[in-house]
Chain A
Amino acid sequence: MLKLSQEVLEFREGTWNRKIDVRDFVTLNVRPYYGDDSFLAGATERTKELWQICLAAMKEERERNGCRAIDTETISGITSHGPGYINKDLEVIVGLQTNELLKRAMKPFGGFRVVEGAVAEKGQQVTQRVKEIFDYTKDHNNAVFAAYDDEIRSYRSNGILTGLPDNYARGRIIGDYRRLALYGIDRLIELKEEDKRLVDGEMTEHKIRLREEITDQIIALKDIKKMGAMYGLDLARPAQNAREAVQWVYMAYLAAVKEQDGAAMSLGNVSSFLDIYIERDLNEGLITEEEAQEFIDQFVMKLRMVRHLRPEAYDEIFGGDPTWVTEAIGGQFQDGRTKVTKTSFRFLQTLYNLGASPEPNLTVLWSQDLPEGFKKFCAQVSIDTSSIQYENDDLMRLVRGSDDYGIACCVSYQELGKRIQFFGARVNLPKTLLMALNNGREENSGQPLLEGIPSLESDYLDYEEVMSNFKKSMVEVARVYSKTMNIIHYMHDKYYYEKAQLAFVDSDPGIDMAYGIAGISIIADSLSAIKYGKVKAIRNEEGLTVDFKVEGEYPKFGNDDERVDSIARDITKFFSQELAKHKCYKNAFSTLSLLTITSNVMYGKKTGATPDGRKAGEAFAPGANPMHGRDEHGAIASLNSVAKLDYRDAQDGISNTFSIVPKSLGSDREGQMENLVGLLDAYFGLNAHHLNVNVLNRETLMDAYEHPENYPQLTIRVSGYAVNFIRLSKAHQLEVIARTFHERM
């Protein structure tokens, strides 16, 4: 047993004193809050002044084509950049990724060429020294392609498999950043050393790898201590008060985003942990509510300033420049108490104090049992800012088992410090269907990708024939998808290991392989059209389908109609089970998401006409949403259809984005809040998994489309996270405007 500093011992003791167990610490010491939002404080003058500096810097960033500055000389790492400040005198929580606000750093181990390209796109050049380093160094991207086979390459280049993390960092892994505050670096190192000692005996591949990984983690921990010292912080020891707890947690996260540029790098579930320190300091009269809020405001401000260097193609795929700093708020303990604390409120309050924002990606873990005051405040914040999303805490706790989890990326459960996730991007399922209709050929190029798919000769599509071909295609695609993932993650571990993040995770964690599907509603509608209507294939001279003529009415996904909703559910189950048949690298557990992030526009562009009547190039619906405008029976019928998708078949998450005009939620503010709470309770009561909530007028978006300069902070929820509307491409802005808005009056 290790000695703890005097200060920490004031907390209620438990297993967390004997080993790393943050959950135990939180469970024993947290003070659930059942009241309303009346205690909350506004932003302090210091915070306001700092935020003005940030707003000005972001304006400059937009004016400079989305990138304010780049450090082209330094390879970013935990200690690569000296201390950086927005304005040192005003900051109570310090730390920037580089020495300058919004200056982007190179993290080239995911793929040097991508970084080189991104720098060149901004009219700059990577310095010779860095270039030379990569003459001698292999990166993740080189390594993956060394192992890819022809089949994977052609699936990739034809867009069957998309968004693969094979040329940049995979992200998704959440370090349990609370550990730094609770234990301090020195103790964490001791425990890692102990873990490493225990990995002995016959040296299997697994053990060798583990010993190397733990060593890397220890190196990272030592570096984090040095990084803290640059800011005058003694991270060797645990945090001793509220401000330090916030600062320590941020330092742990900052190390992660200095070392890695993962597509999504979540924060976890820190609010109620921090509340324990804040409550103690408040009770002892050491701080005021204004100061408590100031810590959180400034912490959140820092999270809003996180940037990665991205190529333009990346921004195009993801619709802007997202970082997915996802923070999960609320939820319940397995013992029946609520995890909601005053600091859960304080995090949401930042959306008022600093204005709406896509980042951090605030995610409310919704339980039927959440305190009413908190439910109501969430609804109010949604109505006012459209900046938060909701996930079903009751469902995730039941199916996945832990009550101490964060949300990785957009919507994915990840137990903190115990499990990690291998990001698997996604399969374009409509393209898979089109291969099934074109005897295994890609619909645009005609390139044969699948063998053994009989060609369909008749003009009218036969449901049984199509299903038989489609299942064969899915079996093949799952096989290729699985081997691709294994290669990617093997190489990522080898060449771009997340040592800073994994330093805050148990040494041999459980792993989820996070596969994904795009386009489930197109699949459901296409198969429904073939089954219940008549669909005529229109083929070109090469026999490739170029269009479909749909005759007669058919049930469409999004109308609570079992005939088609069951198709969506069954296909998800089938594909999920196919994937699970394949062995994963590091014995990861196979999971699946129905999620598109913002890539639904890009997927649409690359996908030919589909049998549901969708034209070539038309956008997909985001996530598991019904297709635009096809949910004709109003919001609830639409929600009910999505709720029927079974979370057990898609444990990586089922994303649904809901847009409603304020007036449609109710005639007055009180009624609007009440109805939104009722809607969330009911939707999640049906075992639905996730809901983005936008409460916006279409006119507002149209105006922002025309006059972006007037809407610097307009935030909207898209599939799984939030974006700054004006930073979306114009095509994407129009797609969002075209989405089903529920606006019956």
Chain B
Amino acid sequence: MIKDGSLVKQEVAQLNAPDSEQLRVHSIESFGTHDGPGIRMVVFVQGCQFRCLYCANPDTMDVKGGHFLDLDEIVARAVKQKPYFRDKGGVTVSGGEPLLQRAILKKLFDRLHDENINTVLDSNGRVIDQQAKDLLDVTDLLMLDVKHFNNEWHKKLTGLSNVSTFKIAEYRESTGKPMWLRYVLVPGWSDQEEHLHELGRHFKDYKSIERVEILPYHQLGVHKWEALGMEYKLKDVSPPNAETLENAASIFRKYFREVRVN
């Protein structure tokens, strides 16, 4: 339900049905080149609790939206794409927020591994429980979206706190499995130098972090907000210019070996 131009808070527990053989999906992109290494099939799942003001896919928020796809169907599609994956590519699950369907995704990733297909999870780290950990254990690469280091700003940007996001990062580090951090750079909202430094200092000793990706904020999703009858609050915010991007990148480079603008 849309209230005051926003989607209201929703109950998400029923999304995570361990016995289900179906994933609630928004769409599948067969030629993904921006969500993980190589050429990837990207499964955009439906449902997210974050209400990021800049969200480029607001149509993936509603936990009751999208459609169900059989896990076997998803695996079959991935298998048909295998020739394109070569040594780097594979399947990325993005969203929406994949962790909301963590138990089902664990089964999906297991089956993809049976087919020797690499798995990437693109998540905001919203949920941390045993099932989430089990999913991370079968995730070859975690791309963790850190929306903001500062919890107050995080709440302003997303409506929710960032506590679980850091816990997910901590757990990932403890397993020693690789992780990329992704950071959406929104001028005036997430480009404050002191917070970028704080983020750098917090994560600089993480051995699991292979790369930090800066995703420049863009307005390509605005029309979706309008179509949904939702209010887009960042209309006046322009995408970051080259200088802003380079500034953020240079700060991150003080702490991380590999920093890229995606």
Contacts and interface: CB of A to CB of B under 8 A. Distances in A.
Contact of B32 (A671, A674, A678, A744): A744
Contacts of A635: 30-31
B34 A634 contact: no
Given A633-B28, A744-B31, A678 B220 contact: no
Contacts of B86: 678, 681-682
A678 B262 contact: no
B34 A745 contact: yes
Nearest to A686: B83
A665 B32 CA distance: 8
B91 interface: no
A182 B34 CA distance: 51
Given A671-B33, A675-B39, A636 B220 contact: no
Contacts of B28: 633-634
Contacts of A560: 30, 77, 80
B182 to A, nearest CB: 12
A636 B31 contact: yes
Contacts of A84: none
A533 B33 CA distance: 34
A392 to B, nearest CB: 13
A664 B77 contact: no
Contacts of A637: 30, 77
A667 B33 contact: yes
A636 B34 contact: no
Nearest to B86: A678
A679 B30 CA distance: 12
B153 interface: no
A742 interface: yes
Nearest to A637: B30
Given A560-B80, A682-B86, A633 B39 contact: no
Given A667-B260, A667-B262, A745-B220, A678 B84 contact: yes
B39 A679 contact: yes
Contacts of B260: 667-668
A638 B34 CA distance: 19
B33 A682 contact: no
B29 A679 contact: no
Interface in A407-427: none
Residue with the greatest number of chain A CB neighbours at <10 A, chosen from B29, B41, B260:
B29
Determine chain A's interface SS by DSSP, over half rule.
helix
Residue with the greatest number of chain A CB neighbours at <10 A, chosen from B30, B77, B80, B220:
B30
Interface string B180-208: 00000000000000000000000000000
Contact of B31 (A667, A672, A686, A742): A742
A609 B89 CA distance: 42
B81 interface: yes
State which size class the interface on B falls in. 20 to 34
A640 interface: yes
A444 to B, nearest CB: 38
Interface string A669-692: 001101100110111011000000
B159 interface: no
Interface string B26-47: 0011111110001101100000
A712 interface: no
A196 to B, nearest CB: 51
A258 B80 CA distance: 49
A637 B74 CA distance: 13
Contacts of A742: 31
B30 A664 contact: no
A666 interface: yes
Residue with the greatest number of chain A CB neighbours at <10 A, chosen from B34, B41, B42, B261:
B34
A638 B29 CA distance: 11
B89 A640 contact: no
Contacts of A685: 83
A640 B32 CA distance: 15
A640 B29 contact: no
Interface in B38-88: 38-39, 41-42, 77, 80-81, 83-84, 86
A675 B83 contact: no
A634 B83 contact: no
Contact of A679 (B84, B261, B262): B84
Contacts of A678: 38-39, 84, 86, 89
Contacts of A636: 30-31, 39, 41, 81, 84
Contacts of A682: 39, 83-84, 86
Residue with the greatest number of chain A CB neighbours at <10 A, chosen from B38, B77, B83, B260:
B83
A392 B220 CA distance: 37
Interface in A569-607: none
A376 to B, nearest CB: 14
Contacts of A667: 33-34, 260-262
A745 B220 CA distance: 9
Contacts of B218: 745
B28 to A, nearest CB: 6
Contact of B29 (A634, A665, A674, A675): A634
Given A560-B77, A682-B84, A675 B38 contact: yes
Given A633-B29, A637-B30, 12 more contacts: A560-B77, A560-B80, A633-B30, A634-B30, A634-B31, A640-B30, A668-B260, A678-B86, A682-B83, A683-B84, A744-B31, A744-B32
29 contacts: A560-B77, A560-B80, A633-B28, A633-B29, A633-B30, A634-B31, A634-B32, A635-B30, A635-B31, A636-B30, A636-B31, A636-B39, A636-B41, A636-B81, A664-B33, A665-B33, A667-B260, A667-B261, A668-B260, A678-B38, A679-B31, A682-B39, A682-B84, A744-B29, A744-B31, A744-B32, A744-B34, A744-B42, A745-B220
Interface of A: 560, 633-638, 640, 664-668, 671-672, 674-675, 678-679, 681-683, 685-686, 742, 744-745
Q: Give me the 9 closest cross-chain CB pairs, A-B, nearest first.
A: A635-B31, A636-B30, A634-B30, A682-B83, A682-B84, A637-B30, A634-B29, A634-B31, A666-B33
